[in-house]
Amino acid sequence: MGSRLWKSVALGASVAAALAMAPAAFAKEWKTVVIGMEGGYDPWNLTDSSGKIVGFEVDLANDLCKRAGVECKIIAQDWDGMIPGLKAGKFDVIMDGMSITEERQKEIDFSKPYAAPPAAFMAAKDSDVAKALGAGKVVNAAKDPKAGAAAVKAIQAALKGKTIGVQSSTTHANFANKYLKDVATIKEYKTTDDRDLDLKAGRIDVGLDDYPTIASTLDKPDAKDFTIVGPEFIGDVFGVGEGMGLRKSDADLTAKFNKAIAAAFADGSIKKYSLKWFKIDTTP
């Protein structure tokens, strides 16, 4: 009897000890962090001629990882499976110009935003839309709702009966579906490249995307007949900006990167990358 009691006490103690040790043994050390991006969302991230992924988010990722003291590995992942891929553990962080929205926050956590560029429309220079809307002016719907509403009205009038192209399941698609559903035909594409091809082919009249992506499309020689038209939008469905997407269970990693982002803002590094890749300052 005595020895039995002794045994169970010893067992209980060892179980308790094991449980106490468990968090230390199982908490991830975060030596390497895998980052998923599309590799085709120029200039956020793009694949260069040698097959390497480069771009604003690559420079930023390398910087932030150094500050957070982790080694980073970048892998390519289609926009379509971005959040499911993160949740399935194929990578630990999403960096793909992903806007922080309430809908997404139900599924994953976000770091503090590292960029907040406006959304912009592009159309052929000699098109009706370009004539009706004129060149772009920045409208901040978050700070000035009245100007935002007026800009939406102008866009609705100019796009009556036109076809607009957006990448599927983006804030730009949300904007089109919220404001332009009844006046225009909305076409949703898997990639922005496909959308740009159809714009050049004349299957769609306007493209809506974030300003840096549009600017980079327009930078290419075969896009010389196209230009940015109408208001450049901040706020409303476009949210507070773009941030890193992380699993809800990895709060420690989110905190690490938030600290790194704050430091990179403070010493002007993020602004430097923004000017290098976007040609404009997109810091939020």
Tell me which residues touch another protein (CB under 8 A): 80, 83-84, 87, 103-104, 106-107, 168-169, 187-190, 194, 197-198, 200-203
Kindly tell me which of 70 and 83 has the beta carbon lying closer to another protein.
Answer: 83
CB of 177 to another protein, least distance (A): 10
Cα separation, 242 vs 283, whole angstroms: 10
Tell me the chain's radius of gyration from C-alpha atoms.
Answer: 23
Task: Take residue 229 and report the two structure tokens written for it.
Answer: 């038209």
CB of 265 to another protein, least distance (A): 29
Which residue type is seen at 259? K
Kindly tell me which of 87 and 271 has the beta carbon lying closer to another protein.
Answer: 87
Cα separation, 234 vs 217, whole angstroms: 20
Torsion angle (degrees, nearest 10) of CA 93, 266, 209, 43? -70
Cα separation, 264 vs 142, whole angstroms: 25
CB of 31 to another protein, least distance (A): 29
CB of 97 to another protein, least distance (A): 15
Kindly tell me which of 172 and 187 has the beta carbon lying closer to another protein.
Answer: 187
Kindly tell me which of 148 and 239 has the beta carbon lying closer to another protein.
Answer: 239
**Helices marked H in the chain:** 2-26, 56-68, 82-87, 102-105, 128-133, 145-158, 171-179, 192-201, 211-218, 251-266, 269-278
CB of 197 to another protein, least distance (A): 5
**Helices marked H in 37-187:** 56-68, 82-87, 102-105, 128-133, 145-158, 171-179
Kindly tell me which of 201 and 266 has the beta carbon lying closer to another protein.
Answer: 201
Kindly tell me which of 162 and 187 has the beta carbon lying closer to another protein.
Answer: 187
CB of 125 to another protein, least distance (A): 17
Cα separation, 77 vs 175, whole angstroms: 24
